[in-house]
Amino acid sequence: MKEAGMNAPTLSEHYQQRAPSAIRYAQIEYMKRTDGVGQVNVAIGNVSLPMHPAMQERLFNLDGPSSPFRDGAVKYTPTVGMEQTRASFLNIIASSGFDTDGLFVQVTDGGSQAMELVILGCLGPAGSGEKPLLLIDPAYTNYSAMAARVGRKTITLTRFLQDDGSYTLPDLEEIERIVEEHRPGALLIIPYDNPTGQFYDHGTMNLLAELCVEHNMWMVSDEAYRELYYGQKHTSSIWGIELPGIEGRRISIETASKVWNACGLRIGALVTDSREFHEKAVAENTANLCPNAIGQYIFGALAQIEHGDLQKWYRKQQAYYRPLLASFNQEIRERLPGVIASCPDAAIYSVIDVRHLVGPEFDAKDFVLFCAREGMVEIAGERLTLLVAPMSGFYTVPKGAPNPGRTQMRIAYVEPPERMKLVPPLFCKLLAAYIKKRKYSTVHTA
């Protein structure tokens, strides 16, 4: 018999090449520390606010007389999801002013599983029938990761962060050129964008919908942050598009995570106006049996909430985030003159770019590792480091090409307000310490 450890089985090529998501990268490295330094974690969109009161009531009364878990049994639900949970997603969409007639809802284990089902349903595998997913970079990292997991490809258009903190979409001629060259199966849009905070208004959504109709693509809209917008604008959604030919090709990805402050429930949904897509997606997901039963029950509390009450909830969430975004952007610019900070109109993120402050050697991913593994700043007697997400993982670039995210980091507004106030001084002091240690060109930080 051969000794243990010899001729170990080989990992698949996919696993050999797999690295952690840019979003989880800092946390994974930080968890290896043993020096007792605390963290302010703004790398992950892990909302720290309480859930909607109706959801809390169900959470705290899982053994109540009306609970399906009162006897201690947790059974499978239908693959499509509990009826009440599906009704909650429709009620939420309707509360934003959109017609839900003809929409089909499938509950999923978080929005991430809905992404995977969408990719499997809209795109062709490698080969002559290949139909890639068209992303607009920087794009939420899980889309490219999910595509790689199931052997599908992505192609990208790139937005660039301007010195004034704004992003601009590529012009329609460039988008059409990419579409005609690569023949994508679907276009992904995030109207309340993660990671940029860019808001796609109704007019922009219509223009992109016209492309989908003209080039026979599915239109996929990730609406995780719907209603989290901060300008004098109106709610935007794929379900507000009125365009001949758009019917039957629309898909939205929904989640309990962000607007409803329930990241850990892992409840999402795939909503579509295509009966065929819906039925096939449910058939595909029978292999996963069903979504989280307890999470479905908790989220199902929103099925009967009046639209006026839901609108009050949206305004409450907006009022919470708006001053956090404004305060952070003002302070980081004051402390770090020359820094570029995005001006988010929506969602819960800012992108910080230090390209005007550092030399060409700088790599945000290496800075993130420094903060996670060894960075430390003492503030008010507390030893802390800061966890942020390197933006390089949000871009897909050809091998050897420069990555616009090399000098960029994403900040999530997920820590309580008193902890968010620590982010600017932590960022500036850690950046100065990193630059000094690496002997890069120095920058002045307050």
Query: Residues 154-195: pLDDT tens digits?
Result: 999 999 999 999 998 888 888 999 999 999 999 999 999 999
Classify domain 53-306 at the CATH topology level: Aspartate Aminotransferase; domain 2 (3.40.640)
DSSP string, 317-360: HHHHHHHHHHHHHHHHHHHSTT-EE---SBTTEEEEE-TTTS-T
* Rg of the chain on CA atoms, in Å: 22
Residue type (1 letter), 145: A
Token pair of 100 as six digits: 């839900």
Residue type (1 letter), 224: A
Least Cα distance to 131 among 174, 187, 170 occurs for 187
Residue type (1 letter), 397: V
pLDDT tens across the length of the chain (446 residues): 555 557 889 888 888 888 888 888 899 999 999 999 999 999 999 999 999 999 999 999 999 999 999 999 999 999 999 999 999 999 999 999 999 999 999 999 999 999 999 999 999 886 667 899 999 999 999 999 999 898 899 999 999 999 999 998 888 888 999 999 999 999 999 999 999 999 999 999 999 999 999 999 999 999 999 999 998 778 999 999 999 999 999 999 999 999 999 999 999 999 999 999 999 999 999 999 999 999 999 999 999 999 999 999 999 999 999 999 999 999 999 999 999 999 899 999 999 999 999 888 899 999 999 999 999 999 989 999 999 999 999 998 888 888 999 999 999 999 999 999 999 999 999 999 999 887 665 554 44
3-state secondary structure at position 432: helix
Sheet with 267-272, side-by-side order of all strands? 104-109, 267-272, 250-255, 218-222, 186-189, 133-137, 154-158
Residues of the chain with CATH 3.90.1150.10: 13-50+310-438
Q: Which residues contact 256 (CB under 8 A, 6 or more apart)?
A: 262, 265, 267, 268, 295, 299
Q: Which residues contact 111 (CB under 8 A, 6 or more apart)?
A: 222, 224, 253, 254, 255, 257, 268
Sole residue written with tokens 């039925």: 279
Residues of the chain with CATH 3.40.640.10: 53-306
3-state secondary structure at position 90: helix
Q: Is the preceding omega at residue 20 within 30 degrees of 0, hence cis?
A: no
Classify domain 13-50+310-438 at the CATH topology level: Aspartate Aminotransferase, domain 1 (3.90.1150)
Write out the E strands in 12-53.
38-41
Reading phi first (left if > 0) and then psi (alpha if -120 to 50, else beta), residue 271 is in beta
